[in-house]
Structures are given as structure tokens and as C-alpha cells.
Amino acid sequence: MNALYLTLLLPLTGAVVLAFCGHKRIAGRLNLLFCIATFITSLRLAADVFFHGSILTPQNFFYVDAFNVYLVLLNSFVGMTTAIFSSPYMAHEQSIGKVKAGGMRLYHSMYQGFLFTMLLALLTNNLGILWVAVEGATLATVLLVSLYRTPKSIEAGWKYFLLCGVGIAQALFGTTLIYFAAVQIMPDNNQALMWSVLYEHASELEPTVLLLAFVFLIVGYGTKIGLVPLHNWLPDAHSEGPTPMSAILSGLLLNIALYAVVRFKMLIDPALGSNIAGHIMMAFGLLSFLVAGLLLHRQRDIKRMFSYSSIEHMGLITFAFGIGGPLATFGALLHMIVHSLTKSAIFITVGHAAQVCQTQSIDKIRGLIKTQPEIGWGLLIGTIAIAGLPPFGVFTSEFLLFSATIKSFPWLVISLLFGLSVAFAGLFRHVQPMVFGECPTGQVKVKANMWPVAVHLCIILWLGIAVPDVLAGWIDQATIMITGKGVL
Amino acid sequence: MNFTVLTLAEQIILTLAALMLFTSFLLLAQTRLLTLIHIFALQGALLFATTLVIAFTYGRHHLLISAALTLGLKVFFIPIQMQKLVTRLDIKREVEVVGNPSLIMFGAAALVLFSYYAVLPIRELSMLATRNTIAVSLAIVLLGMLLIISRRKAVVQVVGFMCMENGLMFAAVAATQGMPMVVEMGVALDVLVAAILFGIFFFQIRTEFGTLDVDKLNLLKEVD
Amino acid sequence: MYLHLAHFGVFLALLAAAVSLPVRSISTGARMAFTLLGLSGLATATSGCMGMLTGCSLNLVLPIGLPWLNSHQHLDPLAGFFLLIVGGVTAIISLFGPSYVIGSVSNLAAARTLAFFTGLFVAGMYLVILAADAFSFMVAWELMSVASYFLVAHDHHKKENVDAAFIYLLMAQVGGLFILLGYGVLAGFGSGFTFTDMQAATLPVHWQHIAFALAFIGFGMKAGIVPLHVWLPQAHPVAPSHISALMSGVMLKVAVYGFIRFCYGLLGTFHWQWGVIILLVGCASALLGILYALMQQDLKRLLAYSSVENIGIIYMGLGLSVLFASNGNPVLAALGLVAALYHCINHALFKSLLFLGAGALINQSGQHDLNRMGGLMRLMPITAMCFLVGCISISALPPFNGFVSEWLTFQTALQGTVLDSGVTKSIIAVAAASLALTGALAAACFVKVFGIAFLGQARHQDTLQAHEVSFGMRASQILLASGCLLLGIFPSAAINSMQTIPTDLLGIGLSQVESGGWLWLTPISARASSYGAPLVLFGISIAWAGAYLLLHPRRRKTPVRYSPRWDCGFGSLSTRNQYTATSFSQPIRRIFRPIWPIDERVDPPSTAEDGGRYSVHVGDWAWEKLYLPLGRMIQRSAKMVTKIQGGNIRTYLAYSFFTLIVMLWIVI
Amino acid sequence: MNVSGWILALGQTALLILLAPLLSGWIKWVKCKFQNRRGPIPWQPYRDLAKLFRKEVVMAQQASPLFRATPYLVFSVTVLASSIVPAFAVGLPTAVIADVIVMVGFFALARFFLCLAGMDLGTAFGGMGASREVTISSLTEPAMLLSIFTLAMTFTSTNLDAMVLHTLTQPFQIYPSFIFAGMSLLLVGVAECGRIPIDNPATHLELTMIHEAMILEYSGRHLALLEWASMLKMLIFGVLICNLFLPWGTALHLEPTAIAVGLLTLGIKLMGIGFVLAASESVLAKMRLFRTPELLSLAFIIALLGMLGHVILEVH
């Protein structure tokens, strides 16, 4: 219980504190300190949920169950490891004068603010607050995207801001509709936006309204997930912002938006009785998956490329959630974990690589293995992992997705096959020359902290070789909540 | 439906709804920035009025707070800020070129029809008299998007965005008599922050690109 | 028990990978790693051998993998047989490895990665064979692919190596997905992903066909059947030679194992169409493989293409077997299967031998190109002898092992008359014809290889620097060569010990193998056909001895006089007078002209003294007509897709807007 | 394990070895008669061989051990091949050592080493001969295998012995496919023995020769062995063609009279086939090297047709 509040309060205070001393040398460490504290409390929270089941605070303001607590843990963990990476990285950026002191303050405080909004979005029991938090996440990051004040970064920031703002507005309309449907059957208006309450009355809600609402919600939150054709802000924001931001954006923010959509799906399915919501998600997911896979071939900017790979994987996960059914859902939940771990690890290495070569353009990055082996290997292995090659965890979840798809929609498997192959080729044709070969002159070793990458990749490896029973049981609980029955 | 059976309050609400929709059309038609901002303020005022009426008629007193927020933000703060900005950036006389206004008007009308059509099932459902305000609010939201899409000035896009917000607020207020307090507060907070950030962005864009024409912002693209 | 031994072998291989990381010097690292690899090879080989001989099936569940699908492991005759191949060849190659690595790798980091991934690669192959459920199979399979990818990309300073590695990994990945789908289909109809569940699955016929097609493509991509072979000739030449030996000699067999396991073990049912497909593809691979091999000048590239040929021969055996099985002749099916398996082990032996020999050559002469070698027999006699043995075996000449398996395949094909439908009969006839043609062309090809590389005079200065290789490298070649000889001389014993495999898969063995006594190999019956390999060797040596003693120089008072070569009275011959690899295969190139895309060009002499240049480059139709267009197509569609990312924010908003409208339209 | 059988088998082998020069002598003689020349007496080849054996061996300095070993190997392999063909009697114990596929394998082995020996010294001729030899054999060998497969499928056996026995014991029957098989086997035999129109044993014109080009560097006893081996090979082909298609007269049981009959008929058959060959050689002219593949692929196609004809028409 206290763990819950602490988990929310720590980043909030962090944001406030760093707003004042974010430019000092210790800011990076301080940032890390807050993240670690948050991680510990969230661990505690997770333990509580794991042992005593879901938690519902008085006046059901917060609601923690197996589904969101594992995302909370993931968030705080990735937030922590990224903070480890961010302190030397941002120090370097500051030293080469890309960021001023004010920028650093903004950066650090917003880093914590971002974590806070995301944790809030996860933990709250209130659809409205969820919306507020997600919008808040946008607001917190939008200035970070344009942190470097270059034309490109400002353009990216503007696009990010406006597209997500408009999208999220639609989501709010959807939320309003759900509220509308809820108040028809509920006396107490204040309860009408609570997950915990809504789930109990899910079947009584008016299906047509819910369906209408879901359309607005998926278009709204889908913009944040980065579903094609609403994805256009994503590559820009990822490529222009500071790399730690890209890491947590694609590692966490997308997950949160997806989490929201899945929550709504859980709410809508019993009312509709059909899986139409699922079919909508499948359509979006498949489209994003294929388009992103193709776009990978045309990339010139390394961070852009990996953001497209994020779109691809998000599409895959959305598709899997859309299929529904225990196996697919289990796979999707697992894929959320492995994707955010792997992708953040990759962005960390990419950040260092970009510093080594002083550029983000793929054609200029060469021979990393020679210049700085740990970065080269990190990038290569990370790519292999994200491409879904065993013995890494991404393969495990893709294996589950495939088998689930074959069970329910055999013919869609062909498109999955095509998409995966194309995406693989697209990633590798670019990564290989960056890693291998002779290194051009002018590349300098940088002070890189590869521990986060190592840790992430080890976890991925572990998940690939053997999914620990604890985690499996955990995900299975979530699966049971989402689909009604588990895999185990 | 028979208009006369409605109570006075309901009639007022519906009229206000109609007026809001009308202001949206005005926004679409308007080409001068300054006037645009004024019309936006007017829409805010209408929203404020609606909120008040509902708050008193149905005794939803927490709506008074959100009404106050609306007044503060949508009627005064944001329009005034924008006006200052426009004068500071010296673009108040600038005339927006709109691609074929009449076409856009027709599109807007079609959208209104569409939104009525879309929320048909809901209107059957609600026992509130103000139910078809949902259609209006949906129309306002869509028109706001249309405004954003059809204009190239960043400022106008922001107005469009805020106009969408109005539509949402209107839906929340008129159709469901207001969301829970926390949500209202949160939304208002977001709107406030958003407004401030927009202001910041105007300056950044202006300094980097020398104009607020968003069509100039296309450095980041895939086509080559 | 033996299963544990096998796992101990896996552990040793992983240990070899692990120890190679912290080492400080190349030599110690290589020695340690390869010693462990050798031990692991021995362990797995013994366990595999035992598994094959005992014929019983051992099972084990390891507490890893998915929570509801722990990693199942098994060891049955088939797995045992292939474990024997993998382990045995690995053990022998680990003799070759150390001095080769020390001789060829200069920087420590490269040596570390090489040793590390070699360990992983070998472990992966063991695990593929031991796996008894789809998940662990796929993990092991891809581990094998990825590890070998790093080995192919080992020397990553040349662009073509990296490209080759890319093609290799891409095709491995696509193939892996196909296999995964194949298992998915089986599991979808069965109760789960363990092999036992899949066996229990009952599929509708069209789903059987789909599953078969998926597996055929998936495993074929690894095995390198035409037209899925394009990665082989690119990847094998660029890998270090002992790795090429492992990849070509062993990894392809692992793919064959997977295919056999899938068809015979999991699908369980046979359709004649499958047999025909396998047979025809096998023929195509065999013929095209050897024809392309004939045209190569790069030694290792040539060997890679000849691997395609041999895989084709193996597939022919399998195809015949499937045909007979679907026709209800289990005995003949068993014969075909045994022929294929026997060719598997033979090819593993002589192809590794040849690759090791090639490695020794390249190591010594520093030349990949046959046209720059020559006269190496005098400089490296032992290697030459072993290489000669390899050439004879791969050309399917008695009394060596390659001949036995081809002979068995012929015997199987000749039984085609028992089939019901005339179509399949005539297809079998054609298959026999192409097998005959393949054998003859193979002989031509390897006459060329040995004659150009080892005989004649050195065509390049560096070649003269060559000298005999170190003890370990010789020892491994000698072992492999004697393996070829033994399997050629005592086929009946070997085949008898392989009885358990068909008995396990088809429920019937070859009862007649030794019906005419252990000296004679009589696969069908003593009357139908017999081959007394030991007697053949005996007879040849008798005749030889007789002739030699009769004409012995000392007894006939005419000693040998040495003189220069016959030069038609034009004065001494230069080394440029010799035939080259290109000119040697020119007549055949002329006969089978349209088989290859040939770029032949003659540059006229620029000055009076230089005689101009003639160059011929032989491409690959599959690459130019299938893969390049496919790649271009994907590029085009990617370019098309980029249009949605035009950069204008209002367009983006319009997307969102219209998406909303359309969705609303759809749902109401 | 019957001793008499083994003795007979050895006797047959020895007989074939000894008869081999006579056959080629006979062919030369008949040919000369056709061309109105006073040819050498039929046993002239024996004299040539004897002379060669007496001569000293001149060997190139560049020769490798392989070069020295080749003649013995070629000779012994051919001898072994000769020991498995049923010449005048069936049921000899040596017949089961190897079947016809193995016999083709023997010839291939001999050819393999001959080509290597040709390339050993690094002279232009050696390489040329080897290249041409493998080119031609890559067509003849499959053709030969196929034509034999047709028979093998008919007789459900690849053992020469069993085939001959089958025709002798079964009631007489005409197989259309045999015509194809026989024709292609004839063509193959002509090509394999290096006779006109593929190769001309008489000339040493460098640009046309194939077999001679490979053994150009050999002399003395080595040359003698190689020549003898090629004669033996021709004899084997003769015996093969006779006994596979018209085996009558071959001894079924190992008793003196039958064997005598067998010997007699064998002699007659061989003289006959020699006559035919000589006749054809004196009417045909040698082909250009690059025309030969057409002829040989014709042989291959014919053999394939025979096999297809068999599997489609004759199997019930």
C-alpha cells in the first residue's frame, strides 16, 4: 500500500527537485538515485500483488493487478537502467555543448516527470486520470524532443505534439462516451469511470456506444502506440530527441498506450460478445507490422531505423492482443517485456555509437567492432535479439504468436512470415556494415557504460532459454484477467 | 422530436449547442487570425454558459468549478495569450489562404450530418433531453480537426486543437453532466500546459524557420 | 545413460566456447578449445553410436524452455546415427583446428570469437539432433545458424564476406520460419509441441501437404537443394576451412536429419507426390550442382557446389524411399533410406576431408584459385594422398565409400518396376539416368581438381613456397581418408549396424544384407545384386602384385631412364603450356552451354609483348533469375510505401482524420 | 567354395587376358583386307607387346609416383573387370564379386587414373587428352549404365551372371527395349575403346587424338601394360555385348563338353563382332571432336528410351 504511494511520489518529488538542481554535476546521479528508489518500491509493490493479489485503494483511486503491476516493474526497471546510461551520455552532450544548463534541468526534471506520468497511467483506477496521465506523458516529453533546438528537432517536437494531442483528444471523446454509457446504468457518477467498477458491470453496458467509443479510443491511443497510418510522429520524435528519451519512449510509452487499449478491449469484449474490437486491432497491427518492415529498408538514420522496428513490434503485439485467446495474449505480454528490454538496450548502444562516429547517419557509421568492440557487439547482438533469433526472448514470444496465429488464423501466417523476413533483411543490411568492416578515421572511443545493455541482454537471453516460473505464473494471471483463461 | 415539450433549460442548452456549432463554422470560414481568435473566445464563452446552465439546472455544483476553469482558460487566458503572441510575432493582419473555402464548407456540413448519423444509436439510448448534444460535440470535434487540416498557420492549428477541446468539454458537460471532478481538473491542467507549450513552440518555430507556416516543416520525411 | 553422455558432450562444447574468451594467447586458446571440442565430439559420437546400435529410444525432460513445454530431449537410432556423424567429424576436425587457426588467424580478438562461436555452433548441432520438441529444436537450430553466421563473417574486412554472411543468415532465418510453421501446423492439429504429440496428430490430407511443403522448403534451404542453394557457394568459401568442413560436411546433414525426422518421424504418412517432388528436386540439385562445380575455379566454391550435388543424391535416395513407402513396399523404402543415410555419412567424411585438404592447400600456397596452383603433390605428399582418396570417394569409384552409397541408390532405383503407376516408374528411370550422368560428371570434376591442383607444374610463384602441413592437420586428414576406405571396404557390416534406423522408422529392416556372407553386400537378394568390396580390393592388389612382380625392373634388366618431357621439338615447355581449370572444363562447357550464365570476354593485346587477356565468369541462374528480382521487388514496394511519410503534418493529420471517419463508417 | 570353379574362373581370366591382343589383331587384319592391303598377321600385337616389354623405360623428370603406379593400376583393374564377365560359362565364383555397375565403376576408376597420369607431367597434350577423355566418358558412362539397366530391370538383377543365366534358362522372348539397349551399348563400346568414329587408334595426329594423348609420355613396359589393358577392355566389351544379347552356347554347367562348346561359340561370336567393327571402321570416317558429343548424347537418349520403353511397355 505505502509502496504504491511511494512509487508515485518518488518520481514526482524527483521531478520537482531536479527542476532546481538538474544542471548540477550530480544531477545525473540524483536522477539515477530516484530511479533506483522507485524501482525498489515498485519491486515491493509487485511482491505485494504477487503474494496478496490485486490491491484496491480506499475510494478505489488506485487499482493494481497482475496486468499493470508487471508493467510498473518493467517501467521502473527500464527507467533505472536508462538512467544509468543517461548520466554519462548527457554529460558528454553537455560537454560538447549540444545542451545548455537550462536544457539539462528540463531534461532531468522531465525524465522523472515522464516516469511519474507513466506510472500514474498504469496505477490509476480511473479512465479519466489514465487519459490525463497519457496526455501528461506527451507534454512531459514534447520539450525533450526539441531539446537540441535544431530545426529538425523542433519540427519533430511540433509534429509529436500536435499529432499526439489531436489523437489523444479523440481518445478523450471515447472516454466520455464510455462514461456516458456507464452513467446510464450507474447511480454514482464518481464510480462510473473506475476500471474496478466498470469490469463488474461490463456486460450491462450498451454495446453500440462502447463500439463507437472503442473506435475513438483506438484511433486516439493508437496514435501513441504508433499504429500505421497514425505513426508518423514516432520516427521523428525518436530520431531527434536525446537518445535516453528515445530509449524510454519506445521502450515504455508505447507499452502504456497499448496497455490502455487492451484495458478498454477487456471492458468492451464482454459487452459486445463478439471479437470485433480484436479484429480492428488485428487489422491495425498487421498493417503497421508490414509497412514498418518495408520502411526499414529505406532508412538512412540509425535511430529512425530502430524506431521503425519499434512500430513493427508494436504492430505485432497489437495483432497478438487482437487475436485474443490465452496463447496469443501470453505471447503478447511476454513480447511487451522482451521488446522494451531489447529496444532500450539497442537505443543505448545506438546512442554511444552515434557519439563514437559523431553522426546518426548509417552510411557514416562503420567498423564499430574495431573502434569500440563492446558497442559493436552490443549493437549486433541486440539486433539479432530484436530480429527474433534464438536463443533470445523475442524468439520465444514470436514462437507463441506464430503458433497462436496458426491455430486461429492460419492464412495470416503467410503475411507474418513475409513481414518478419522483410524486416529482418531491412534491419540487417544496415546494421552489418555499421558493425563490421574497417573503421573510418575520426572515430573516437567514448566513455560508455555498457552495463545496462549487458543486463538487458542477459535477461533477454534468460527469457529465451527458460521462462522462469514466477514470471510465467505472473503473466498467466494477467492472461487470465484479459482472456478469462490461462495457458498454464 | 417535439421541441416544445422540453423545459426551458433544455431549450437553452440546445440553442447554445447550435450556437457552438455555428461558431465552429465561423472559425472554418474565418481567414484573419485576430478575428479567428476572437471567435474562439466566443466559443469558449458559449461553453462556459452551457456549463453554468447545466450546473444550476441539474444541481451539479462541481460543474461550477469546471465552468470557472473554462472561463479562465478558454475565454480569457488562452485567447489573450494568443492575441499577444500574434501581435508580438506581428502576424495579426496575415490572411490565411484556405484551399477552396466553399468546398471546405460543404465538407463541414457533410461532417455534421455524418456525426448525427454516427451517434444515432446513442441518441436512442439516452434518457437525457440533451442527448443529441453528443452529435453536436462530435461535429465540433471533427470540425476542429478539419480546421487544423485545412490551415497552414501554426496558430490556427492551435485554435483548431483548442476548438476540439471545446467540443470534448461540451460533450462531457452536456451529454453526461460533467465528468468526475478529478478528471475535469486534470484535463484543465493539461489544456493549460498545452497552451503554454504551444506558445513556446511558436517562438522556436519562428526563430528556426522564420515563419509559422507548418508546410515549411518538412525536413523529416522518408520520400526522397 | 548414453543420453547423459551426449549432454556431457554438449556441455564440453559449451565449455570450449566459454574457455576461449578469457585466454591471453591465440595458441593456448585454440589448443584448449579444440581439445574440449574433440572430447565433446568423442563423447557424442560414442553415445550416438550406442544409441544407434542398441536401437532403443531414450527420453529426458530438461527443466528449461517454456514453463508448460520444458525442453524434451531424446536419443533414438536416427538421432544416434547423426550424432555419430556430427561428433565423429567434429572430433577429427579438432585435430586439424589448432595448427590451422594458429597459422591463419593473427589477432587475438578474432581468434577468441572464432573459437567461441565454433563451440556454440557445434553445441547447436548436437542440440538440434537431441531435441524432441519443436521449441528446443528451433532454439538449437537457430543457435546453429547464428553461430555459423558469425563464423562466416569471421574475416569481415572483405565486403563480399559480409555480404555472403548476410545472405546466409537471411536464408537461414527464412528457412527457420518455414520450419517453425511446419511444426506449427503439426502442433495445431496435435495436442502440443513435443514430438510425441505431433506424431499423435491426425491431419487432413491437404494440411499434410502444406506441412510437408513447409518442411521441404525450410530444411531444403539449409540443406542447399536447388534453387535454395545460393548461400552455399557464397558462404563456404569465405569461412575458415575447418568451419567450411563442419558446415558442408556436417551442418547440411543436420538439415537432412531434420527433414527425415519431420517426414518419417512426425508426419508418418507418405504420398507419392512427395516422393516425386523430392526425387526430381534431388536430380536437379545433383546435376546442376556438379555442372556448376565443374565450372568453378575457386577451390572451395567448387567444393560447395559439389555439396549441392551430394545433397541432391541424398534427396534422390529419400525420394525413392518415400515413393516406395507410399506404394507399400517398406523393404525398398528402407533400402532407399539406408542408401541416403549411408551417403550422408560418406559425404560427411569425404567432404570434410576435401575441405580440410583445401584448407591445407590455401594455408600453404595462399591461393584460392585453382588456376594458380599445381604441382603440389611433390610438396605436400601426405595431403595429396588423402586428397586423392577424397577425390576418388566423391567421384563414386570403387572400392571407396562414395561408390557404395551410389550403388545402393542405383539398386533402389532399379527396383522401380514394382511401382504401380507408369509415371512414377518412368520418373525413376529418368532419375537413374541423371544419377549416372552425375557420377560421370563428378569424376570429371574431381579429375580436374586433383589434376590441376596437385599434378603438373606450379602455375604461381607462391605455390612453390608450400610445404607439408603439421602433424595434427595430417593426422585428421589421414583419419578421414581411412574412414572413407573402411566404409568402402566393409559396407555390409556398416549397413547391418544401421538396420535399427529403418526398423525404428519404417518398422522393417534389411534382412538380406549379408545373405551371401559377410564378404558380399546383397541389399535385396544374393541373386539380384552383389558387391564383394573386400574381394575387389583383394583382386586388384593380387593383379597389381602379379603384374608388378612379372615386370619388376630388377628382374628384367631394363632400368628406368629419366629425361625431359616430350616437347614436340619446340624447346622446353613453360608452365603456361599446361591446361588450366578453365580450359579443362571447356569442352563440357561447350556441350551443356545454356546451363550457366557465362560472361566470357577477350581483351585484345594492348602492347605487342602481352598476349591480351581472356576471362570467363560463370554466374548462377538461380541467383540472377530468382533472388535478384525478388530483392528488387521488395525494394520497389518499400519505395512505394515511403510515400505515406511525406513530411507534411497536415497530411498526417488528414490520415488520422480519415482513419477515424472510415472506422466510424465501418462500425455503424 | 568349389575348387574347380575357382580354377576355371582363373582360367577364364587368363584366357581373356591372352586373347585380348588377338582380337585387336584380328580386327586390324580384317580391316586391311577390306581396304585391299596386306595387313599384319593377326598375332602382330603380341610381337608389339613383347617388343615394348623388352624396351627400357624412359620417364620424364617431372613424373610423380602416381605416374608410375598408373599402368599397373589400370591393368590390374581391367583384369579384375575381365574376371567378372561370364565369357564361356556361367556360375563361376568370381562372377558374384561384383555386378555390372561395379564393372562400370572399374572402367571409371581406370580412366580416372589414366587422366591424372596424363595431367601429371604438365604437358599440353596430357591435359588435352584428359579433358577430352572425361568429356566423352561423362556421356558414355551414363549411356552404358542405362542400357545395362534396361537389361537389369528385365532380368531383375544387376549380376551379369544372373542376366545371362536368365536368358539361357527362360523361354526365348523378344524385348523391344533390348534393341535400343544394344544399339547404345555398341556406340558406347566404340567410344570407350577409342575406335572410329570417336577416336582413331591408328593415328598420332595430336589435335584429334584422345587416348593416345594421355599415354604419350609412357614407354617400355608401362606403355605395354596400358596398351594391353585397352585391348583387354575392348575384348571385355565384345564379350559383354555378345553374351548379354546372344548368350546361347555359353556353358550352363561346368563340364568339359559344355565348356568346349562355350569356348567355341565365344570365339565365333568375337570373330563376328570383330568383323562388324572392322567393316564399320572402314566405311565410317572419324568425327570432329566437337561433333562426337552429338553421337554420344544420341547413345544416351537411345539408352534412356530403351529404359522408358521397358518400364512402360514391358512391365506388367
Q: What is the pLDDT of residue B2?
A: 52
β-pair type (C560-563, D57-60): parallel
Residue C504: which of C254, C264, C197 has the closest Cα? C264
Give me the mean pLDDT over the D15-20 stretch.
92
Q: Report CB contact under 8 Å: C647, B214.
A: no
Q: What is the pLDDT of residue B124?
A: 66
Q: How many C-beta atoms surround the C-beta of residue C425 within 10 A? A: 22
**What is the percent of chain C where pLDDT is above 70?**
99
Residue A247: which of A336, A343, A375, A337 has the closest Cα? A343
Coil, strand, or helix at residue A436?
coil
Nearest to B149 among C646, C654, C668 (CB): C654
Residue C374 touches partner D, C-beta closer than 8 Å: yes
Interface of C with D in 416-475 (CB under 8 A): 416-417, 422, 425-426, 428-430, 432-433, 436-437, 439-441, 443-444, 447-448, 450-452, 455-457
Q: Is the peptide bond before A391 cis (omega within 30 degrees of 0)?
A: yes
Handedness of CA A46, A50, A51, A53 (dihedral sign): positive
Q: Which residue has the cell 506558445?
A: B199
pLDDT value at C96 more than 80 = yes
Nearest CA of chain C to the CA of B139: how many Å? 12
**Secondary structure element (H or E) that encloses residue D124, with its range:** helix D124-155
For residue A58, what is its C-alpha cell?
480506499
Chains A and C make contact, 3+ CB pairs within 8 Å: yes
User: Using a CB-CB distance cutoff of 8 angstroms, which residues of chain C are in contact with residue D304?
Assistant: 429-430, 433
Interface of D with C in 253-292 (CB under 8 A): 289-290
Nearest to B201 among A136, A157, A177 (CB): A157
Q: Are C300 and C358 in contact (CB under 8 A)?
A: yes
User: Using a CB-CB distance cutoff of 8 angstroms, which residues of chain C are in contact with residue A438?
Assistant: 157
- For A423: left if phi > 0, alpha if psi spans -120 to 50, otherwise beta; the answer is alpha
Contact partners, residue B61, CB within 8 Å, separation at least 6: B55
Chains B and D make contact, 3+ CB pairs within 8 Å: no
- C668 confidence band (pLDDT: 50, 70, 90): confident
Q: How many C-beta atoms surround the C-beta of residue C106 within 10 A? A: 9
**Residue C336 has what DSSP assignment?**
H
Considering chain C, what is the average pLDDT of its residues? 90
Residue C58: which of C83, C80, C85 has the closest Cα? C80
Give me the mean pLDDT over the D131-135 stretch.
91
Contact partners, residue C393, CB within 8 Å, separation at least 6: C346, C349, C350, C353, C400, C401, C402, C403, C484, C488
Q: Report CB contact under 8 Å: B217, C649.
A: yes
Q: Where are the domains of chain D?
A: 3-314
Q: Are B168 and A139 in contact (CB under 8 A)?
A: no
The rounded distance, in Å, linking the Cα atoms of C112 and C107 is 9
Nearest CA of chain C to the CA of B94: how many Å? 20
The rounded distance, in Å, linking the Cα atoms of D287 and D271 is 26
Give me the mean pLDDT over the D170-190 stretch.
87
The angle, 0 to 180 degrees and rounded to 10, between the axes of the packed helices C491-498 and C471-489 is 80
User: Using a CB-CB distance cutoff of 8 angstroms, which residues of chain B are in contact with residue C660?
Assistant: 142, 145
Residues of B with CB under 8 A from a CB of C: 114, 117-118, 120-121, 142, 145-146, 148-150, 152, 214-215, 217-224
How many inter-chain contacts (A to C, CB under 8 Å) are there?
157
Nearest to C648 among B117, B142, B218 (CB): B218
Residue C66: which of A60, A206, A472, D174 has the closest Cα? A472
Q: What is the pLDDT of residues D54-84, one digit of tens each?
A: 888 888 888 888 998 999 999 999 999 999 8
SS (H, E, C) C391-444: HHHHCCCCCCHHHHHHHHHHHHHHHHHHCCCHHHHHHHHHHHHHHHHHHHHHHH
User: Using a CB-CB distance cutoff of 8 angstroms, which residues of chain C are in contact with residue D142?
Assistant: 433, 436-437, 439-440
Nearest to B149 among C646, C650, C664 (CB): C650
Q: What is the pLDDT of residues B128-179, one digit of tens each?
A: 555 678 888 999 999 999 999 888 888 888 999 999 999 998 988 887 878 8
pLDDT value at C229 more than 90 = yes
User: Using a CB-CB distance cutoff of 8 angstroms, which residues of chain C are in contact with residue B121?
Assistant: 668
**Residue C643 has what DSSP assignment?**
G
The CA-based angle D310-D315-D316, given to 5 degrees, is 160
Q: What is the pLDDT of residue D270?
A: 92
Nearest CA of chain C to the CA of A243: how many Å? 22
Give me the mean pLDDT over the C603-612 stretch.
77
Distance, C-alpha A393 to centroid of its chain? 16
Nearest to C169 among A428, A433, A487 (CB): A428
**Secondary structure element (H or E) that encloses residue D11, with its range:** helix D3-34
Q: What is the pLDDT of residue A44?
A: 92
The rounded distance, in Å, linking the Cα atoms of C582 and C371 is 8
**What is the percent of chain B where pLDDT is above 70?**
90
Predicted complex ipTM: 0.90
Interface of A with C in 166-195 (CB under 8 A): 166-167, 170
Nearest CA of chain A to the CA of C378: how many Å? 39
User: Using a CB-CB distance cutoff of 8 angstroms, which residues of chain D are in contact with residue C375?
Assistant: 122
Q: What is the pLDDT of residues C611-667, one digit of tens each?
A: 778 888 888 999 999 999 999 999 999 999 998 888 888 999 999 999 999 999 888
Instruction: Give C424: exposed, middle or buried? Use CB within 10 Å, 0-12, 13-18, 19+.
Output: buried
Interface of D with C in 27-86 (CB under 8 A): 53-62, 64, 66, 72-73, 75-77, 79-80, 83
For residue C252, what is its C-alpha cell?
547440411
Interface of C with B in 609-668 (CB under 8 A): 642-643, 645-650, 653-654, 656-657, 660-661, 664, 668
For residue B179, what is its C-alpha cell?
465528468
Distance, C-alpha D280 to centroid of its chain? 17
pLDDT value at B3 more than 80 = no
Q: Are C296 and C369 in contact (CB under 8 A)?
A: no
pLDDT value at D204 more than 70 = no
- D205 confidence band (pLDDT: 50, 70, 90): low
Amino acid residing at C41:
G
- C268 confidence band (pLDDT: 50, 70, 90): confident
Residue C563 touches partner D, C-beta closer than 8 Å: yes
Q: Report CB contact under 8 Å: D123, C565.
A: yes
Contact partners, residue D202, CB within 8 Å, separation at least 6: none
For residue B75, what is its C-alpha cell?
475565454
Per-residue pLDDT of chain A (488 residues; tens, 9 = 90+): 688 888 899 999 999 999 888 888 888 899 999 999 999 999 999 988 888 888 888 878 899 988 888 899 999 999 999 999 998 899 888 888 888 888 899 999 999 999 999 999 999 999 999 999 999 999 999 988 989 888 999 999 999 999 999 999 999 999 998 988 888 888 777 788 888 888 888 888 888 888 989 999 999 999 999 998 999 999 999 999 899 999 988 888 999 999 999 999 988 888 888 888 999 999 999 999 999 999 999 999 999 999 999 999 999 999 999 998 899 999 999 999 999 999 999 999 999 998 888 888 998 888 888 888 899 999 999 999 999 887 899 999 999 998 899 888 888 989 999 999 999 999 999 999 899 888 777 778 888 788 889 999 999 999 988 888 888 988 998 999 888 888 87
Nearest CA of chain A to the CA of B208: how many Å? 6
Interface test with C, best of A225, A312, A432 (most C CBs within 10 A): A432
Coil, strand, or helix at residue D267?
helix
Q: What is the pLDDT of residue C1?
A: 78
User: Using a CB-CB distance cutoff of 8 angstroms, which residues of chain D are in contact with residue C551?
Assistant: 53, 221, 225
SS (H, E, C) B64-119: HHHHHHHHHHHHHHHHHHHHHHHHHHCCCCCECCCCCHHHHHHHHHHHHHHHHHHC
Q: Are C67 and C101 in contact (CB under 8 A)?
A: no
CA nearest to C155 within chain A = A437
Nearest CA of chain C to the CA of B221: how many Å? 4
Nearest CA of chain A to the CA of C635: how many Å? 7
Residue C24 touches partner D, C-beta closer than 8 Å: no
Q: What is the pLDDT of residues C322-349, one digit of tens each?
A: 999 999 899 999 999 999 999 999 999 9
Coil, strand, or helix at residue B7?
coil
The beta strands (E) that lie in A39-78 are given as 55-56, 63-64
pLDDT value at D315 more than 80 = no
The angle, 0 to 180 degrees and rounded to 10, between the axes of the packed helices C533-550 and C471-489 is 110
Q: Report CB contact under 8 Å: B204, A162.
A: no
Q: Report CB contact under 8 Å: C668, A212.
A: yes
Distance, C-alpha C144 to centroid of its chain? 15
Q: Report CB contact under 8 Å: C544, D119.
A: no
pLDDT value at C408 more than 90 = yes
Q: Are A362 and A301 in contact (CB under 8 A)?
A: yes
Q: Report CB contact under 8 Å: D158, C528.
A: yes
Nearest to B222 among C645, C649, C657 (CB): C645
Q: What is the pLDDT of residues C523-577, one digit of tens each?
A: 888 888 888 889 999 999 999 898 888 876 665 566 788 888 887 777 777 888 8
Q: Report CB contact under 8 Å: C156, A436.
A: yes
β-pair type (C560-563, C69-75): unpaired
Give me the mean pLDDT over the B22-30 stretch.
89
DSSP string, A196-238: HHHHHTGGGS-HHHHHHHHHHHHHHHHHHHT-TTS-THHHHHH
Residue A388: which of A305, A290, A464, A318 has the closest Cα? A464
CA nearest to B142 within chain C = C657
Q: What is the pLDDT of residue C263?
A: 93
* Higher-pLDDT residue of B29, A40: A40
CA nearest to A470 within chain C = C67
The CA-based angle C448-C449-C454, given to 5 degrees, is 110
Q: What is the pLDDT of residues C18-63, one digit of tens each?
A: 998 888 888 888 899 999 999 999 999 999 999 999 888 889 998 8
Q: Are A215 and A196 in contact (CB under 8 A)?
A: no
- For A439: left if phi > 0, alpha if psi spans -120 to 50, otherwise beta; the answer is beta
Residue D160: which of D47, D82, D261 has the closest Cα? D82
The rounded distance, in Å, linking the Cα atoms of C140 and A390 is 8
Point out which residues pair with B160 in neighbouring strands: none
Instruction: Give C247: exposed, middle or buried? Use CB within 10 Å, 0-12, 13-18, 19+.
Output: buried
Chains D and A make contact, 3+ CB pairs within 8 Å: no
